Amino acid sequence: MDNNLKTKTRVVELLEMQDKKLISNKDFLGQFGKEKVFYSTPYGDHKDGKPRLFLLPGPDGTGYFPAFSSMERLKEFYDYVGRVGYLVMESEFRDVIKTTLKVNNDGAPVKMGIIVDPGYFNMTIDEKFLEIVLPMT
């Protein structure tokens, strides 16, 4: 755990359990889906002044939309990738899945999966599995 998180949150506890395979995927998703995560829009401005998509590369030309266990991790990530001027939103993880599915179904130029706390955990959901995972949350 990084030094930015003074106390371990339930979100981080669940992510650690999932990462260490101490919880089944079904149980993890059932609990994690109700937890609050932080995120921003996938499109924004870079410090070089040019707008771009802030997605991590996924399979077959898709991208991973980042969500975070804390505002600190969100800020750390966007500082690292050079994003400026973003709005921080917070909602239950299942709502992030619903929104991502809607954006994908509405003709997004890049289909998105989801990644949580990139660089810290191995929690990803590929774009093709979002509809399967949603009922589990």
Residue 59 lies in a domain: yes
Name residues whose C-beta falls within 8 Å of residue 68's C-beta, 6 or more positions apart in sequence: 37, 38, 39, 74, 77, 116, 117
Domain residues for 97?
Answer: 10-136
pLDDT at 95 over 80: yes
Residue 93 lies in a domain: yes
Q: Alpha-carbon distance 13 to 45, whole Å? A: 32
What's the predicted TM-score (pTM) here?
Answer: 0.91
Angle at 123 between CA 34 and CA 93, to 5 degrees: 20
pLDDT at 2 over 90: no
Number of domains in the chain: 1
Residue 2 lies in a domain: no
Q: Grade residue 7 by pLDDT with cuts at 50, 70 and 90.
A: low
Residue 5 lies in a domain: no
| Mean pLDDT, residues 4-12 taken together | 73
Residue 4 lies in a domain: no
Looking up tokens 């093709």 gives 128
User: pLDDT per residue over 100-131, tens digit each?
Assistant: 999 999 988 999 999 999 999 999 999 999 99
